[in-house]
């Protein structure tokens, strides 16, 4: 095809008109996360993680941008905020302005607090639940390494 660099193939999906690169290695050539020459970080199981963290032998790296949506979904803080704000609005409409305003402020404040404290909440969830630990370490939300 004309206009396509050598080694690539332009294919359009029906109705999408998207370009696809035929060589998957070329697609991620500049991405450091897919550097196949780098040494892989060994997986640390949940029991070793809990014991090592308590002894100060683990180094934890949490990606805050990935942690926020995970924690919001896991703690259902959006649902709590909507309920509190809704009740506050209902109270304000029936004449209880101050209690209603307090519930609205509490709903907004609770959600913002969860978003701000997401990495700490995520660490607590990972410590207490093996399934959460497996999910966040496999999805790149949290990285666990042995301290040097």
Residue 121: enclosing H or E segment and its boundaries? helix 118-128
How does DSSP assign 53-87, residue by residue?
A: HHTT-EEEEE-HHHHHHHHHHHHTHHHHHHHHHHH
Between 27 and 84, name the one with better pLDDT: 84
CB 67 within 8 A of CB 86: no
Q: Which of 40-54, 86-100, 128-142 is least confident?
A: 40-54
Q: Which of 26-35, 54-63, 85-94 is least confident?
A: 26-35
Position 39 scores a pLDDT of 53
* Residue 133: strand, helix, or coil: helix
pLDDT at 33 over 80: no
Buried b (16+ CB within 10 A) or exposed e, 107-118: beebbeebbeeb
Position 88 scores a pLDDT of 96
Between 43 and 116, name the one with better pLDDT: 116
Nearest Cα neighbor of 61 from 126, 118, 142, 147 is: 142
């Amino acid at each position: 095809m004309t206009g396509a660099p050598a080694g690539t193939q332009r294919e359009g999906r029906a109705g999408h008109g998207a370009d696809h690169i035929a060589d998957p290695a070329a697609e991620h050539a500049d991405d450091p996360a897919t550097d196949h020459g780098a040494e892989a970080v060994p997986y640390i199981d949940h029991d070793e993680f809990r014991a090592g963290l308590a002894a100060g032998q683990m180094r934890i790296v949490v990606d805050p941008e990935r942690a926020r949506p995970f924690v919001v979904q896991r703690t259902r803080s959006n649902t709590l905020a909507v309920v509190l704000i809704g009740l506050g609005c209902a109270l304000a409409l029936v004449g209880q302005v101050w209690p209603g305003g307090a519930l609205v402020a509490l709903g907004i404040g609770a959600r913002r607090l969860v978003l701000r404290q997401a990495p700490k909440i995520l660490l607590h969830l990972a410590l207490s639940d093996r399934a959460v630990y497996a999910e966040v370490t496999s999805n790149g939300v949290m990285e666990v390494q042995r301290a040097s």
